[in-house]
Amino acid sequence: MELSPIVNTTGFQALRRRYGLDHGSRGLNLIRTRFKSPVLIVFVSDTERYTDFLEESETICMYQFQDQEKNVNGTMKRNPKPFLEYGPVGTNFTVLAALKNSNYRLPTVLIGKHGHNQWSELFADCVLTGWSQDNDGKPFFEIQRSRVAHWLLGPVDEEEEE
């Protein structure tokens, strides 16, 4: 996942406010508005959860389901619900329900972290089209994306030629 230029924003919280994410996770965030269809915001700062098939000339990327057994800090959840036993629960279930209601084309925005306080909006016109499992039984969301990157607003370059 190496796209340039890296745009320095005013921070993670400012980025979350831009999308109206007062609360939620650093992974999957579903934005529901009264008049528009829901939009999925996916933070891909944890590269182990995100697989991009750009090298294979496909427009599909995979994002692993949120963990249903462990907390973000690695401790076990109080009531773990393994995917193979319970199916999708919590945020995973909510996202899949929104996907079904949107006729399996849920608008998605991928946001990547490139370094300390360096965030970029990788692809703003992606769609979540479904989910699948890998050979180990881990479930992944299938995100179809375009190759057109839309960069977040950053500091103005004063040396820009007109």
The domains of the chain, with CATH numbers, are 12-123+131-144 (2.30.280)
At 14, the amino acid letter reads A
Share above pLDDT 90 across residues of the chain, in percent, rounded to a whole number: 25
Ranges of the chain whose pLDDT falls below 70: 1-11, 23-25, 46-47, 53-58, 114, 117, 146-162
Residue with token string 């529901």: 32
Question: Which stretch of DSSP H or E encloses residue 39?
Answer: strand 39-43
Q: Residue 23's pLDDT is what?
A: 66
Can you tell me the distance from the alpha carbon of 6 to that of 110, in angstroms, rounded to the nearest whole number? 14
The residues near 159 (Cβ < 8 Å, ≥ 6 apart) are none
pTM exceeds 0.85 = no
Q: Residue 55's pLDDT is what?
A: 56
**Inter-CA distances, 70 with 61, 77, 90, 130, Å:** 24, 5, 13, 24
Q: What b/e readout covers 3-23, taking b as 16+ CB neighbours within 10 angstroms?
A: eeeeebbeeeeebbeeeebee
Backbone φ and ψ for 157, nearest 5 degrees, come out as -85, 110
Q: Residue 19's pLDDT is what?
A: 78
